[in-house]
Structure 1
Amino acid sequence: MGKSSKITITNDKNRLSRDEIERMVNDAEHYRTEDEKQREKLSAKNALESYCFYMKQTIEGEDMKNKISDGDRSTVLGTCNETLKWLDANQLAEKEEFEDKQKAIENIFKPIITKLYQGIGSMPGERLDRPQESGGPTIEDVD
């Protein structure tokens, strides 16, 4: 996923005792674990922030102006703005808090997005599931 490095500590000039080397190895392992937790936390925070900016940009786009009601637009923009303010005020929140916040706003946005795509005429990915009308013969499995 990210950078990977291997630390090798050698005792070339007998300056470090075996205990000191062991302590250094344990410290390196401890910090690696802490770094991974911090990376996951920042990833969750960035995902939430990106989702809000994406939704705001999508809803404010010119092509969406006539496709979404003012009430739904207001709900999305208000929720995004509140979430971004929450992010600013909760920089030290835990990974789970960021993930819970994202799930909560996704649940708010889901019916709006569904309504939006139904208004357009299809859900995302629906075309992939439809059989193609080629005018050719229909093939059926017969047992």
Structure 2
Amino acid sequence: DNNLLGKFELTGLPPAPRGVPQIEVTFDIDANGILNVSAVDKSTGKENKITITNDKGRFSKDEIEKMVQDADKYKAEDDQQREKIAAKNSLESYAYHMKSSVEDESLKGKISEEEKKLVVDKCSQTISWLENNQLAEKDEYEHQQKELERVCKPVVTKLYQGAAAGSCGSQAGDTSQGPTIERSTKTTDCII
């Protein structure tokens, strides 16, 4: 459980696609228990900060000791929750990234409209699944990501191979990490 110590907002940020804004948050606590928190948007330089002093709303040493003991007691549950959230965030990020990659106008013509539709539809289906399954378990998120990768990787590999070289000829094998080229006796080796 979290305890609210204070609030501040970083406003006036320009609209940007998901995952693009970069906010640097700094926490600093001094010997007197005074907490300084600042946030800076790296693209605009806009900044806001708050100082939280060791007075009202803060905890006694006994309360802090109890919280530390509770944190130790529930560490395994917290770790499971953290892993679940990481799996959910990974799936969500991958779905939005794949969708925007195939919709990128600068890559038009590198894949067919059918391939583009296949990826966009699967990404939209996954995003919809995420919205309707906010309390899913880690393995469910991981399964959904594997299913999405199964559809996206062949198309995105083709997309990047077409964008990267174009002069290597056809490549064999499933290049599951994007624009890597594997050696095969059936193809021409190429160095990018």
Q: How would you bin the TM-score normalised by the shorter chain?
A: 0.5 to 0.7
Question: Which sections of structure 2, spanning at least 5 residues, go unmatched?
Answer: 1-60, 169-177, 182-189
Deviation at 1:26, TM superposition (A): 6.1
Shift of 1:62: 1.2
Q: Which has the higher helix share?
A: 1
Aligned partner of 1:28 in structure 2 is 71
Distance of aligned partners of 1:28 and 1:119 in 2 relative to their CA distance in 1, 3 Å threshold: closer
Number of the residue aligned with 2:53: none
CA deviation after TM superposition for structure 1 residue 24, in Å: 7.5
Task: State the Cα RMSD in Å.
Answer: 2.9
- Name which of 49, 56, 61 aligns with 2:92: 49
- Residue 62 of structure 1 is aligned with which of 77, 84, 105? 105
Q: How does 1:10-21 map to 2 (within 5 A)?
A: none
The equivalent of 1:130 in structure 2 is 191
Q: Which amino acid aligns with 1:52?
A: A
Kindly tell me the number of residue pairs found equivalent between the two proteins: 113
Which of residues 70, 95, 101 in structure 1 aligns to 2:144?
Answer: 101
One-letter amino acid matched to 1:89: N
Alignment CA distance shift 1:29-1:130 (3 Å): same
CA gap 1:109/1:77 in 2 versus in 1, 3 angstroms? same
- Identity, % of aligned pairs? 47
2:121 maps to which of 75, 78, 87: 78
User: Kindly tell me: are residues 24 and 63 of structure 1, through their superposed partners in 2, closer, same or farther at Cα, counting changes over 3 Å?
Assistant: closer
The whole-number CA distance in structure 2 between the counterparts of 1:119 and 1:25 is 54
Aligned-partner Cα distance in 2 for 1:130–1:89:
45
In structure 2, what residue type is equivalent to 1:37?
Answer: Q
By how many angstroms is 1:125 displaced?
4.2
Supply the distance in 2 between the matched residues of 1:119 and 1:101 (Cα, whole angstroms).
27
Distance 2:134 2:116 in 1: 27
Range moving further from structure 2, 91-100 or 26-35: 26-35
| Correspondence for 1:15 | none
Tell me whether 1:117 sits opposite 2:178 in the alignment: no
Q: Kindly indicate whether the alpha-carbon contact (under 8 Å) linking 2:99 and 2:123 is maintained by their aligned counterparts in 1.
A: yes
Between the two structures, name the one with larger relative contact order (CA 8 Å, sep ≥ 6). Answer: 1
Q: Which has the larger radius of gyration?
A: 1
Whole-Å Cα distance in 2 between the matches of residues 118 and 25 of structure 1?
52
Q: Give the distance between the partners of 2:107 and 2:129, measured in 1 at CA.
A: 26
Q: Residue 179 of structure 2 aligns to which amino acid in structure 1?
A: P
How much does 1:33 deviate?
A: 1.6
Other-structure match for 2:172: none
